[in-house]
Structure 1
């Protein structure tokens, strides 16, 4: 029962999709970690130790949940566009939109990932 739930949710993504998005999520978490360390090193009044642990833990947690949040984003995008194929040139606006969308998926992964896991569960059932 429990293994069935885990295989349908956590193991429901294609391996290449999961690994690619997990690497992106971990890179984003490491960059956020380094940004926190840099800002904390230059701060005149350091933050309490446990505040930093909670913030860094939140970024690691979001990095691990990012593939499922990105899956939800891709699923919703596919529902909206359907089978239509859009051909457009890569310009700064397209890159900016993709970057903002991925950052939103990363920062709200703790909200989006459970919905993505539910979709995976029902899609793989």
Structure 2
């Protein structure tokens, strides 16, 4: 039997235990050589990818005006604070996963609310309705809660729309 057996045509693996250190050293030296040889190309590709990712994040997450985002973030934070307070006073207390979901819902709430307001604006148009203020506030709080609660599912639609809208503006 030969001292080596083949895994790939160009790759030999040692059969004996004392042959492994030299084989691993060879792999390490080959890897370092390839990294050094192609480092400039690798870093250039990484820079291009980072620029694309930065542009994507700026177009999507930066697509809302800062005042709109801050206003909606304030109302989303009120829901999170309320539910964290209520959950912390239960028998089981509050755990990290619950707080994490509340934080994610709060951060995505402005985009969820943007989707809701866009859909309602499309359906209602520029019509104005005169209703009781307390009734309107009640329904507004209910829709805000629904948007906050389902923000994880609704917000990606808003982010996709913002990306499509702003990338189309950049191309024109």
TM range (shorter): 0.7 to 0.9
TM-score, normalised on structure 2?
0.63
2:74 is aligned with 1:23: yes
2:83 is aligned with 1:32: yes
Larger radius of gyration: 2
Aligned counterpart in structure 2 of residue 94 of structure 1, from 115, 136, 149:
136
RMSD (CA atoms): 1.5
CA distances 1:64-98 after superposition (whole Å, capped 9, x unpaired): 1111100111111111122x231414433211111
**Gapped runs of 5+ residues in structure 1?**
none
Aligned length: 116
Q: What's the counterpart of residue 80 of structure 1?
A: 123
Higher relative contact order (CA 8 A, sep 6+): 1
* SS of equivalent to 1:11: coil
Q: CA deviation at 1:55?
A: 1.4
TM-score, normalised on structure 1?
0.85
Query: In 1, distance between residues paired with 2:53 and 2:100?
Result: 26
Larger % of strand: which?
2
Query: In 2, distance between residues paired with 1:3 and 1:54?
Result: 28
* SS of equivalent to 1:85: coil
